[in-house]
C-alpha cells in the first residue's frame, strides 16, 4: 500500500508532490520500484490531489489505484483501500514521498512476527514527527508532534510512517479511528494504541540510515535528497572500479552500467539506460541518454548522445551531437560541431568538422569534409542519402536526398549533389571562378 494522496503545499506547485522528479524519475516511481522488488501479490496506490494526474503519469497493469477524494488524514486514506485488502494477507504500508527506502528495510519489517510492525528512526531534531512512546522498551503509542506533551516532544525516536500489519487486525483498527485531535484528521498512527489495547505486541525496527526514511515536503527537501541519491550512486560506481574525476559532480538519472577501467570526467549526466564497455573515457560535461558505448571509445567534452549506439574505439567530439537512430561501427570519428541523426556509419569513416548527416547510410573508410550537409527534408518528406565505401566528400558539399554517392567517388568541395555520383569518378557542380574588374564595395551613406 502506497500513500500518495497529499498535495505537498510547501512544494508551491500545481503538480502533485509525488510526480516531481528525483534523479530524472517521479518520486513515486522510486517507491513503486522498491515495492515491485518485494514481489507483492498486489500493489495499491492511494492518490488524491491532482485528480487523475498521478495514475495517468504512471500507468501500469500491476497497480490498483484508489482515490482519496478528501484529504482527511492517513487513516482515512487507508480506509478507502479497505475493500481491496485480502483478509488473510499482510500489508506493507509505504509513503509515496519517501523515495530512498531500501528493499532490505522492507524485508526486515515484513519478517517481524507481530501483528503490527513499525519502522522508526532516531532524529536529533524530531520536530514535526510523531514520537514513539515506549514503556519498558515496548511500544505503546505514536503521538503526533502537535498532540505531544513537552515530555513526549523530548523523545528522539520518531515514526517514519512505514509499517506492516496483518490485514485482519488492520481492518479492525481502521474501523475504530476517530479525528479527535489537533488536526481533526484520522491518523493511521493511532492504530498503535489500538493494537496495544487489544493485547497485540507492536514490533519496532529502528533504521540506522536517516536518509532512506526521509520524506520530501519542499523543493529544498527534493534538492537535498537528489544530492544524497547521486552521492550514493557515485559511491557504488567507485566501488565497482569506475574512475570519477569528482564523485560530487556526476548525475545518473536512470541506470548506468560500466565495465572495467572506465573514466568519467566532471559534470556528466547519464539518463535512461546507458552502458559503457571496458576502457571507455567520457570527457567533461557530456550528456548521454539511452546509449551503448563500445570498448575503448573516447567521448571528448560536451558531447551529447541520445538513443544511439557506438562500437569499439570510436572518437567523438568535442561538441558532437548524436541523435536517435545513430549507429557507429568501430574506429569511426565524429568531430566538433558534427550532428548525426538516424545515420549508420560503418567502420573507419570520419566526419570531423561542422557537418550535419541525417537519414544517411555511410560505408567504410569514408571521409566527409567540413560543412557537409545531407539535405534530407523537402518540407514534407524525409529521404535517405547513401555514401558507399571509400567515398571522399569535399568540404561545403550539399547532398540532396534521395541520392547515392557510389564507392570510391570523390565529390569536389562546394558541390551540390542532386543526382547519383558514379564510382571512382570526380563529381563537381561549381561555377567557374571569375573576377569582376573595377568593382568596389559599397560605402556607408552618412545620414
Residue 10 is assigned to a ligand binding site: no
Residue 130 is assigned to a ligand binding site: yes
Q: How many CA atoms lie within 13 A of 84 on its CB side?
A: 19
Structure-block grid coordinates of residue 40: 507483492
Residue 395 is assigned to a ligand binding site: yes
Structure-block grid coordinates of residue 348: 573507419
Residue 159 is assigned to a ligand binding site: yes
Residue 4 is assigned to a ligand binding site: yes
Instruction: Please name every residue paired with 339 in a beta bridge, in sequence order, or none if there are none.
Output: 321, 356
Among residues 319, 318, 392, the alpha carbon closest in space to that of 350 is found at 392
Residue 3 is assigned to a ligand binding site: yes
CA 108 – CA 235 distance, rounded (Å): 24
CA 332 – CA 326 distance, rounded (Å): 12
Residue 187 is assigned to a ligand binding site: no
Q: Which of 20, 122, 145, 353 is catalytic?
A: 353
Residue 313 is assigned to a ligand binding site: no
Instruction: Please name every residue paired with 257 in a beta bridge, in sequence order, or none if there are none.
Output: 275
Q: Is 353 a catalytic residue?
A: yes
Among residues 177, 201, 205, 181, the alpha carbon closest in space to that of 191 is found at 177
Residue 74 is assigned to a ligand binding site: yes
Q: What are the residue numbers of the active site?
A: 353
- Give binding residues as ranges: 3-6, 17, 68, 73-74, 97, 130, 144, 159, 217, 323, 341, 356, 367, 370, 376-377, 395, 413, 430
- Give binding residues for Mg(2+) as ranges: 97, 217
- Give binding residues for acetyl-CoA as ranges: 370, 376-377, 395, 413, 430
- Give binding residues for UDP-N-acetyl-alpha-D-glucosamine as ranges: 3-6, 17, 68, 73-74, 130, 144, 159, 217, 323, 341, 356, 367
Amino acid at each position: 500500500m502506497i500513500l500518495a494522496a497529499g498535495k505537498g503545499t510547501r512544494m508551491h506547485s500545481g503538480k502533485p508532490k509525488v510526480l516531481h522528479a528525483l534523479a530524472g524519475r517521479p518520486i513515486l516511481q522510486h517507491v513503486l520500484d522498491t515495492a515491485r522488488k518485494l514481489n507483492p501479490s498486489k500493489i495499491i496506490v492511494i492518490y488524491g490531489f491532482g485528480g487523475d494526474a498521478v495514475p495517468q503519469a504512471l500507468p501500469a497493469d500491476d497497480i490498483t489505484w484508489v482515490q482519496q477524494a478528501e484529504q482527511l488524514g492517513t487513516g482515512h486514506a487507508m480506509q478507502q483501500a479497505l475493500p481491496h485488502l485480502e483478509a488473510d494477507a499482510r500489508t506493507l504500508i509505504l509513503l509515496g514521498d519517501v523515495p530512498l527506502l531500501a528493499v532490505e528495510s522492507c524485508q526486515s519489517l515484513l519478517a517481524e512476527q507481530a501483528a503490527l510492525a513499525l519502522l522508526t528512526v532516531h532524529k536529533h531534531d524530531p520536530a514535526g514527527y510523531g514520537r514513539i512512546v515506549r514503556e519498558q522498551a515496548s511500544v505503546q503509542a505514536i503521538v503526533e508532534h502537535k498532540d505531544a506533551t513537552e515530555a513526549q516532544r523530548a523523545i528522539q525516536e520518531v515514526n517514519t510512517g512505514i509499517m506492516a500489519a496483518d490485514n485482519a487486525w488492520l481492518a479492525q483498527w481502521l474501523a475504530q479511528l476517530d479525528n479527535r485531535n489537533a488536526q481533526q484528521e484520522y491518523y493511521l498512527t493511532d492504530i498503535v494504541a489500538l493494537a496495544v489495547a487489544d493485547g497485540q505486541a507492536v514490533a519496532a525496527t529502528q533504521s540506522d540510515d536517516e536518509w532512506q526514511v526521509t520524506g520530501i515536503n519542499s523543493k529544498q527537501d527534493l534538492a537535498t535528497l537528489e544530492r544524497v541519491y547521486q552521492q550514493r550512486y557515485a559511491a557504488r560506481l567507485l566501488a565497482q572500479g569506475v574512475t570519477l574525476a569528482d564523485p560530487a559532480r556526476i548525475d545518473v538519472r536512470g541506470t548506468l552500467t560500466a565495465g572495467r577501467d572506465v573514466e568519467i570526467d566532471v559534470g556528466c549526466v547519464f539518463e535512461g539506460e546507458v552502458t559503457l564497455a571496458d576502457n571507455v573515457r567520457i570527457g567533461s560535461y557530456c550528456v548521454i541518454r539511452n546509449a551503448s558505448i563500445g570498448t575503448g571509445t573516447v567521448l571528448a567534452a560536451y558531447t551529447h548522445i541520445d538513443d544511439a549506439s557506438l562500437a569499439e574505439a570510436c572518437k567523438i567530439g568535442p561538441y558532437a551531437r548524436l541523435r536517435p537512430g545513430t549507429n557507429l561501427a568501430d574506429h569511426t570519428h565524429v568531430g566538433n560541431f558534427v550532428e548525426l541523426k538516424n545515420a549508420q556509419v560503418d567502420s573507419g569513416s570520419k566526419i570531423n568538422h561542422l557537418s550535419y548527416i541525417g537519414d544517411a547510410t555511410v560505408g567504410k573508410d569514408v571521409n566527409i569534409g567540413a560543412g557537409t550537409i545531407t539535405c534530407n527534408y523537402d518540407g514534407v518528406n524525409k529521404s535517405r542519402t547513401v555514401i558507399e565505401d571509400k567515398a571522399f566528400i569535399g568540404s561545403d558539399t550539399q547532398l540532396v536526398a534521395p541520392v547515392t554517392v557510389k564507392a570510391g567517388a570523390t565529390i569536389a568541395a562546394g558541390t551540390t549533389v542532386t543526382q547519383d555520383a558514379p564510382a571512382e569518378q570526380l563529381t563537381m557542380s561549381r561555377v567557374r571562378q571569375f573576377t569582376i574588374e573595377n568593382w568596389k564595395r559599397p560605402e556607408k551613406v552618412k545620414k
